Structure 1
Amino acid sequence: MGPKENILKQLEELSVSNFEHLNGDLLSHLLETFQILEEWGSPEFLCYAGLFHAVYGTFAYQNPVIGTNARKEIVGIIGEKAETLVYLYGSCDRTHLYGQFGNTKSIFHKNRFTGEITTLTRSILNDLCELTAANELQLALSDNSFRNRYAAELKNLFSRMNPYLSSKAAILCSSVFSA
């Protein structure tokens, strides 16, 4: 099915196709992340969070398309729930977050921009983990060298994240990162 034409057009107007990303341009990565989430039957807001997940940059992709001062603009395009997830994903200190899985009952988000630490609700944590899985799977499925280099690390991460993943995400993570 794919993203709604007006939403895709607004993303393209941010010139995301001009940003390089692993194995191509950022637009391709964002579209494929959306498609993975859509194939899993994820809610629409989560699919659109996948489509915009790197617009503020991320812990690993520190090349923002738009500044966080434009959050209201992104809310106007994809809605508040999707944008909140995009912001949480982009602002996430992954080292801080990932180290908590399997080690604690409460998971805390550390904002890499502000240093603020907040507790994540189970629902938001599930969505954040699902988005993380879709992002990493898109990279691994499109680049064998990425998969070979990070398979063991990602297998470990997603085995610890498993309680927060949908069954479709967990199965694909287990399959792709088994080697």
Structure 2
Amino acid sequence: MIGDLRTTLQAAREFLIERSAAKRSHSGATLLTHLFGTADILMQCGASEAVVLAGLFHSAYGTASFRDAICQWSERPALVELIGIDAERWVWLFCRTNNRVRTISARLRNEAVPVVDRVTNESLEIGPSDINALASIEIANLLEQNSLGNSWELAAHARALGMIGPYGCRPFRLRPIDELLGARDVGSEAAMKTERLSGDAVRIEMPIHASTII
């Protein structure tokens, strides 16, 4: 894996463009825009580099709802080389976990539900750090599409993590890819605070009830 995050993001953009991500439609924009938007949310929320990179490639192998894969299962070593072993593992789990949102939500409640591979129907070994990473990635994925309101439990977890404000707002703006790659101290706490202060809040489609505020 390339050591510098910005350099890795630049290499990732070239990789994604070569895989036609800039030409594939996703949630009213392009797949490339969605993937970088997801990574940007994670950066601005102070996620680790590995989680940010996993967010950038979260649907690389295709998911149950998004089957337009940009990587084949056999290409795992290439993705490990690009983003690192931890990030690639979370990408793989994100793409392979059956009933992903329901499973993540149950595990966040400490319910011992099985994690099932949607391809092989076998059980997956998954720990608390995996669940926390997958939850952050899923929240960022849904926030970028303005659809976090479809999962109340993840929305509550997002509020606890500071990924949304108390009134259902995303307290930062998404940066254009060129701006994101050219930002000073990309992904740093200082950059995150600057974006939170200067960006426009975006209201997500989620009515707020007192019982859901934590």
TM-score of the superposed pair, with normalisation by structure 2: 0.68
Structure 2 letter corresponding to 1:61 = F
Q: Is 1:54 the counterpart of 2:59 in the alignment?
A: yes
Alignment: residue pair count: 167
Map Cα deviations across residues 106-135 of structure 1 (whole Å, 9 max, x no partner): 343211111111242111100000000000
Pick which of 125-134 and 164-173 moved more.
164-173
Q: Residue 130 of structure 1 contacts residue 166 of structure 1 at CA under 8 Å; is this kept in 2?
A: no
Evaluate the alpha carbon distance shift between residue 105 and residue 78 of structure 1 in structure 2; reply closer, same or farther with a 3 A threshold: same
- Which has the bigger relative contact order, CA under 8 A and spacing at least 6? 2
- The question of whether the paired residues in 2 share the 8 Å contact of 1:55 and 1:66 is answered with yes
| CA pair 172-22 structure 1, distance change in 2 beyond 3 A | farther
Deviations 1:117-163 (A, max 9, x none): 124211110000000000000000xxxxxx4xx72x3224433xx2x
**What does residue 21 of structure 1 align with?**
26
CA distance in 2, matches of 1:173, 1:116: 40
- Indicate the structure (1 or 2) with the bigger Cα radius of gyration: 2
Partner of 2:210: none
Residue 120 and residue 173 in structure 1: after superposition, are their counterparts in 2 closer, same or farther (change >3 A)?
farther
Deviation at 1:6, TM superposition (A): 2.0
User: Hey, what does 2:103 align to over in structure 1?
Assistant: 97
> Kindly tell me: are residues 79 and 156 of structure 1, through their superposed partners in 2, closer, same or farther at Cα, counting changes over 3 Å?
closer
Q: 1:84 to 1:172 in 2, by over 3 A?
A: farther
Q: Structure 1: which 5+ residue stretches go unaligned?
A: 141-146
Q: Are the counterparts in 2 of residues 107 and 120 from structure 1 also a CA contact under 8 Å?
A: no
Q: Which residue of 2 aligns with 1:143?
A: none
My pick for the range that moved more, 50-59 or 168-177, is 168-177
Verify: 1:155 aligned to 2:149, yes or no: no
Task: Show the counterpart of 2:139.
Answer: 133
The one-letter code of the counterpart of 1:111 is D
**Share of identical aligned residues, percent?**
23
What's the CA shift for 1:12? 1.9
